[in-house]
Chain A
Amino acid sequence: MKPIPDDAYLSCRAIAAAMGEPLYSLRFELRNNGPAAIELPIYEPFTAFSIVAAAGGKRLEVHQPVLDIGVRRATLRLEPKTMLTLRTPIRLQIAKDAKPGTDGFVWTIAHAREGLSLEAKLEMTEPCIMAGPVVFE
């Protein structure tokens, strides 16, 4: 395993894509802005991130039901000046009256899409921790 270089070389963009309201898929675009390849150990399927939701200056609950799943180790390799898309099976249910369910792959935020801000924090092996706003497309 090559050492992970300074975080400054890594940038991350989280994207939520509508897949029929009120569900949104999530993906992460990881970009290596540095001069050397970067290897990131992860577990597949990738669920190692958290979502912070807020509206009107108040933090909202993101309900994450129980999820027990088999995983496997994998290594992401980002060549210099390249971007890689990391997908997750986690879907966001976003609606004012959304009720938390029991499907562990569906995280629920009981708030309308309008006025909602989301921040994603990737929780890969330290020191590779990145946070940023979730962009809706």
Chain B
Amino acid sequence: MPFDTAPLAAPGERIIFRGEFSDPSPANYRLEYSTTGGHFSSATGATSLTIAGLISGNVDFFAPAGWDGRTALSVTLKVIKISDSSTAFTRTWTFSLKKTYPTSMTQKEGTGEVNLPGIYTYDIGPALATGHKPFYEHMTILEKFDQGSVNVAPADIKPKYRTDNALNSTAAIVAHFNLGGSGGNGTFTINSNDQISDQHGGHYELSELVSNLVAPKQIEVALPQTYEAKPGTALGRYMITRVLKADGTTWKVKKGPR
């Protein structure tokens, strides 16, 4: 990722790469990212990055702050077999400059609860006077997450467990049960229908919280999400809410604008 190998990016934009491969012996490989024109990890970081194994995790890449699109900007990922330094896989992303920015996004699905995983598709707009779709194909969109929250107050928790774990505020509950966020920022690329799709699956480990509630209740863990096409400017703000029903086992998800 990103899916699109010819993305359009903005000056100074952070683009998140992720590579994942499988092999019975992942330790026999390394991933090598390299760039022409940009930097990894920070705006002034290195121009190459080596990761042991076959799973990169999130790799931050930065386009130059003053980039005008006239100089080359690319990223290449190679999977190297350590024993003989041969290249098992290569992929190159070649960037061009965004000349305009979308300013709207509209969720096609409803905002009610659905089974996990929830998949949401967004129309990116507005339509331009230049003709017909696609208007924004290849453009990158960065997602960010803010601090999560939960609808559980200290009074909802059994006194002994609350005292033993110093759960005196909702913030303490969020921290204790690791509800602060998914940590899974990513970069999307707009497809030829001027759309992106986002999937929200999995859930938090709340069995201990459930077993220490004063009374059964529906638990809602909310995660604020922001999409950006222009760095520093929100394109869309949404709330992803994972819902654990009062039965303590049934999970749902809902998502809508905030």
Contacts and interface: CB of A to CB of B under 8 A. Distances in A.
Contacts of B202: 64-67, 104
Contacts of A100: 205
B204 A43 contact: no
A73 B184 CA distance: 20
Contacts of B225: 68
Instruction: From A18, A63, A71, name the one whose CB has the most chain B CB atoms within 10 angstroms.
Output: A71
B20 to A, nearest CB: 5
Given A17-B24, A70-B143, A70-B186, A64 B200 contact: no
Contact of B204 (A18, A19, A66): A66
A79 interface: no
A47 B3 contact: no
Interface string A66-107: 111111110000000000000101000000000010101100
B223 to A, nearest CB: 8
A100 to B, nearest CB: 5
A104 B201 contact: yes
A35 interface: no
A25 interface: yes
Interface string A8-21: 00000000011110
A24 to B, nearest CB: 10
B27 A71 contact: no
Interface string B171-188: 000000010001110111
Contacts of A65: 202-205
A119 interface: no
Interface stretch (B124-132, B191-199, B229-237): B191-199
Given A17-B22, A19-B24, A68 B205 contact: no
Q: Is the interface of A mostly helix, strand, loop or mixed?
A: strand
Nearest to B197: A71
A72 B122 CA distance: 12
Interface in B195-225: 196-205, 223, 225
Given A63-B205, A104-B182, A104-B184, A72 B3 contact: yes
A44 interface: yes
A111 to B, nearest CB: 16
Contacts of A66: 182, 184, 200-204, 242
B22 A68 contact: no
B66 to A, nearest CB: 28
A106 to B, nearest CB: 10
A99 to B, nearest CB: 9
Interface of A: 17-20, 25, 27, 43-44, 47-48, 63-73, 87, 89, 100, 102, 104-105
